[in-house]
Amino acid sequence: MQHFKRKREETGKKMKEIASLIQYRPNVKVVDATLRDGGLVNDFYFTDEFVKALYLTNLRAGVDYMEFGYKASSEMFDADKFGKWKFSRDEDIRAIVGENATDLKIAVMADVGRCDYKTDIINRADSPIDLIRVATYLNTIPAAVEMIEDAAGKGYEVSCNIMAISNTQEGDLKVALDILGQTSVDVLYIVDSYGAIYPEQMARLADIYMNAAVKYGKKVGVHAHNNQQLAFANTIEAVGDGVDWLDATYASMGRGAGNCAMELLLGFLRNPKYNVYPAIQFVDSYMNKLKAEGVVWGYDLQYLMTGLLNQHPRTAIQFTKEKRNDYAEFYREVVAQD
């Protein structure tokens, strides 16, 4: 009987969480990561027309933040091999948004060890950028702390994405969150880099992150990948557990299997500031055109396999580039690597 009582209590808790989804939540922030995560699919070669249309779509749809790309080091990456959103120079952003006298805020991602943040990220007062998203692995947290404080000292909002947490021990994660909680970071992100997390696990992770957020006065965000077709499910699970910052991309465009679809998320959120129709228009006019031109992303068996095995999708990405279709043999290969 005690077991069933506990299960009823857990079910009741979940029902309360789901009920919170149909209420207006002013703290929810939707972040468009199409240029940044989607840029990993086409080496950031987007036309200015596409980027301008995406910006205007985000304005019409009520999206809160638009991530333009990476602040990658021009010393480490050859500018001739990538589109300009690999580097997200301030002048290129300003050419799209002007002074951006709107409610939409501009973000870029700075990857630990792959950017020259001390020189390439200037003072916020002189930049069109509002938010710096620091991306780190668990073993580079000290370097991430330096980047967070540098960005905050220059006047930016700052978030931190701890990548590959599906391969992280819970104790190590809690230590990392304690370290980050004592910094100037504003948002701590749950990142399912491998698309390996299930909603039940997302609930547990959200609880760990929310406890740290409450302790240190931070917000929590979620960035999900769709290897097992769970990016949307994991995102709305996180919302029900109190996570406020939600990443999405139009037509799920993103590395490998892609991300939570913006059109799904905006259609789901019961929030009057969001409008799904512009998102649908953009997918119709621009995202479908990208696919017709041969840009490849989205759920497929090879990405499912790496997600099931909690592996980085690099092998699945290579499988896709080589236009292989021997899925069973690929599964044997990735199992052997596990």
Residue 110 half-sphere exposure toward CB, CA atoms < 13 A: 29
Residue type at 151 in one-letter notation: A
The reported pLDDT for the residue numbered 19 is 55
Say if CB 324 and CB 295 are below 8 A apart.
no
Which tokens is 173 given?
Answer: 């994660």
pLDDT at 291: 95
Report whether pLDDT(53) > 50. Answer: yes
> Rounded CA gap, 73 and 80, in Å?
13
Give the mean pLDDT of the chain: 93
Contact status, residue 176 vs residue 141, Cβ threshold 8 Å: yes
Q: What angle do CA 314, 319, 325 make, to 5 degrees?
A: 150
The answer, as to whether pTM is greater than 0.85, is: yes
Q: Per residue in 140-162, pLDDT tens?
A: 999 999 999 999 999 999 999 99
Number of H helices and E strands in the chain, helices first, is 15, 8
Distance of CA 51 to the CA centre of its chain: 18
Q: Could you give the CA distance from residue 168 to residue 66 in angstroms, rounded to a whole number?
A: 29
